[in-house]
Amino acid sequence: MLLYNTVFLYSFILVMQIFQFVAQAGIVGFESPASQYEEARLSISELLVPNPSSTHLAFAKDNALSHIGIYKHDILIVNKNMPTRNNPIVVATLNGEPIVRLLDRKKRMLQGAMSAQSYTLRDDDDFYIQGAVDFSIRLHTANDYPAYECATPEMIDDIIIKHPSATYFGLAQGHSMMNVGIFDGDILIVDRHQFINDGAVIVATLNGEFVCKKLDKAQRRLVSTKPYSFYQLSERDRFQVEGCVIASVRLHSSLNMSLN
């Protein structure tokens, strides 16, 4: 699972470059390609929340939308302005209970991954939509979920970024890390100062290429999720850890996103 060389992300009104990595990364004698961004201070809230007045945070309560990459406790960036398209992901209350589901307007159905997690709306239901999910954020390091359950959009940076000058963005390509919640096209938030625990999701340079894998320290392996195989590191490999993936961001709305 590689990181693209040059990527640009387009949000409503903000254009932000996702940093360029060079092919010779990690070769002995070359400076780490990520080191040039140590002084770049990133703001996730500026990237994901262009209109704070119409945006709030919510949190996934279950794994009903895991098939599209939303898992329990994921942070949801919710736009109060509902899109006109069919099947938006909505944050709502249904008969007093909070719920996050795909809304099929034509069938008046709230859809989950399994039939038991879906619900057909009735006329007597007390159903209120709070907004549509533009982005979801999955944390990949230990976090104190109850402490940020009442957070506001302006607090996203404080929740996620602990070492601002050592944090950079990358873009995931491929499907080998889906079982840990990293999908093709996700934005990776990488911390070069985060302690690397056994089993941590890392970005590294391996023989001149950027990879995103789980690190098995004891067995010296780079682990993908099933059915993909692991990679056994050897003394011949040119290998360097470029940081720990602390979070990944997924786009769920119809915002324009392009590669330049």
Residue ranges of domains in the chain, CATH in brackets: 2-42+161-251 (2.10.109.10), 54-137 (2.10.109.10)
Give the mean pLDDT of 255-259: 37
Per-residue pLDDT at 257: 37
CA 150 to chain CA centroid, nearest Å:
20
* CA proximity to 249, closest of 48, 38, 8: 48
Q: Is the pLDDT of residue 240 over 80?
A: yes
CB 73 within 8 A of CB 181: no
Helix or strand or coil: residue 148?
helix
CB 186 within 8 A of CB 171: yes
Active site (annotated) includes residue 234: no
pLDDT, tens digit, 9 for 90 and up, residues 175-201: 888 889 999 888 888 899 999 999 999
Split at pLDDT 50, 70, 90, the class of 146 is: low
Give the mean pLDDT of 204-232: 88
Per-residue pLDDT at 42: 63
Degrees, nearest 5: CA angle 60-61-65: 60
Catalytic-role residue among 45, 66, 176, 248 = 176
Q: Comparing 112 with 151, which gets the higher pLDDT?
A: 112
CB 161 within 8 A of CB 194: no
Per-residue pLDDT at 126: 97
d(CA 127, CA 90): 11
Per-residue pLDDT at 144: 64
Average pLDDT over the chain, rounded to whole? 79
Helix or strand or coil: residue 249?
strand
From the CB of residue 31, how many other CB atoms can be counted at a distance below 10 Å?
10
Q: Is the pLDDT of residue 105 over 70?
A: yes
d(CA 177, CA 82): 31
Percent of the chain with pLDDT over 90: 43
Per-residue pLDDT at 11: 30
The amino acid present at 218, given as its one-letter code, is A
Rounded to 5 degrees, φ, ψ at 147 are -70, -25
Per-residue pLDDT at 254: 58
Q: Is the pLDDT of residue 120 over 60?
A: yes
CB 243 within 8 A of CB 190: yes
Per-residue pLDDT at 41: 55
d(CA 150, CA 58): 9
Cα dist. 29→135, 167, 242 in Å?
39, 23, 15
* CA proximity to 214, closest of 144, 23, 204, 206: 204
Per-residue pLDDT at 2: 42
Which tokens belong to 229? 């195989």
Per-residue pLDDT at 215: 94
Catalytic-role residue among 11, 66, 213, 248 = 213
Active site (annotated) includes residue 176: yes
d(CA 119, CA 167): 41
What is the pTM (predicted TM-score) of this model?
Answer: 0.80
Counting every residue, how long is the chain?
260
Per-residue pLDDT at 196: 93
Q: Is the pLDDT of residue 17 over 60?
A: no
DSSP label at residue 221: E
Per-residue pLDDT at 153: 85
Per-residue pLDDT at 97: 93
pLDDT, tens digit, 9 for 90 and up, residues 42-95: 678 887 887 888 999 999 999 999 999 999 999 999 999 877 677 899 999 999
* CA proximity to 183, closest of 113, 243, 136: 136
